[in-house]
């Protein structure tokens, strides 16, 4: 019996969209041939299986009404709760943005001070006759400064060039 089912599955060709529409019409015709009592049972089963969805921070209007039937002021309390959550989220985002700005500024100042120190060390080494070492420090400092000023990672730019469809 299982072999027959697998053979039937293999023999069933894929249907085009118009053929699928014809199948739907055939299904409706089949439903019309069923006894009215059985048709009603099948219709109720389909309605029971129908799934509704609602997306958002608040319940659906139907659910609001149901909450109001259970607890008189429940819809107002739910709205107040959503407003408090929104206010909290906005305040948190403001704090996060402010801390990131402060962190960025602190990093830039620290980088500037380190750059001045390395320039001073490079000039001192150059003055003492260590030209190659001073030049290496200056070149390294310039390359690091370019990365930080342009805020680009050389690896990221290579990835972008090799994959032009990356969004």
Q: What is the pLDDT of residues 127-153, one digit of tens each?
A: 999 999 999 999 998 888 887 777 766
Residue 134 Cα to chain centre, angstroms: 48
More confident residue, 56 or 21: 56
Distance CA 150, CA 17 (A): 53
pLDDT, average across residues 82-109: 94
pLDDT, average across residues 98-114: 90
- For the cut 90, the answer to whether the pLDDT of residue 102 exceeds it is yes
Task: Compute, in degrees rounded to 10, the torsion defined by CA atoms 59, 61, 66, 67.
Answer: 50
Model confidence at 17, in pLDDT bands (50, 70, 90)? low
Amino acid 167: pLDDT: 44
- For the cut 90, the answer to whether the pLDDT of residue 164 exceeds it is no
Amino acid 150: pLDDT: 77
- For the cut 60, the answer to whether the pLDDT of residue 159 exceeds it is no
Task: Tell me the three state secondary structure of residue 45.
Answer: helix
- What's the number of CA atoms in the CB half-sphere (13 Å) around residue 159? 7
Amino acid 127: pLDDT: 92
Amino acid 3: pLDDT: 46
Distance CA 30, CA 17 (A): 20
More confident residue, 162 or 48: 48
Name the least confident of 87-91, 98-102, 137-141, 154-158. Answer: 154-158
> Tens digit of pLDDT for each residue in 21-33?
555 556 677 777 8
Phi, psi of 142 (to 5 degrees): -65, -45
Distance CA 141, CA 146 (A): 9
More confident residue, 154 or 4: 154
**Residue in 112, 104, 110 with CA at minimum distance from that of residue 141:** 112
122 class by beta-carbon count within 10 Å (0-12 exposed, 13-18 middle, 19+ buried) = buried
Distance CA 78, CA 163 (A): 48
Model confidence at 52, in pLDDT bands (50, 70, 90)? low
Compute the Cα dihedral for 136, 137, 139, 140 and give only its sign: positive
**Residue in 30, 52, 31 with CA at minimum distance from that of residue 43:** 31
Q: At what angle do helices 17-33 and 36-49 cross, to 10 degrees?
A: 130
Count of CB atoms situated within 10 Å of the CB of 106: 10
């Amino acid at each position: 019996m299982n072999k027959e089912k697998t053979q039937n599955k293999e023999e069933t060709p894929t249907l085009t969209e118009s053929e699928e529409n014809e199948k739907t019409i055939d299904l409706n015709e089949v439903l019309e041939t069923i006894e009215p009592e059985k048709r009603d049972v099948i219709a109720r089963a389909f309605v029971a299986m129908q799934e509704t969805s609602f997306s958002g921070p608040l319940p659906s209007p139907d659910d609001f009404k149901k909450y109001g039937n259970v607890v008189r002021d429940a819809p107002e309390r739910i709205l107040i709760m959503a407003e408090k959550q929104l206010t909290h989220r906005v305040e948190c985002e403001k704090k996060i943005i402010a801390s990131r700005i402060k962190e960025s500024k602190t990093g830039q100042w620290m980088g500037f001070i380190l750059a001045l120190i390395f320039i001073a060390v490079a000039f001192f080494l150059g003055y003492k006759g260590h030209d190659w070492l001073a030049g290496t420090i200056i070149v390294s400092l310039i390359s690091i400064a370019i990365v930080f000023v342009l805020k680009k990672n050389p690896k990221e730019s290579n990835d972008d060039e090799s994959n032009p469809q990356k969004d």
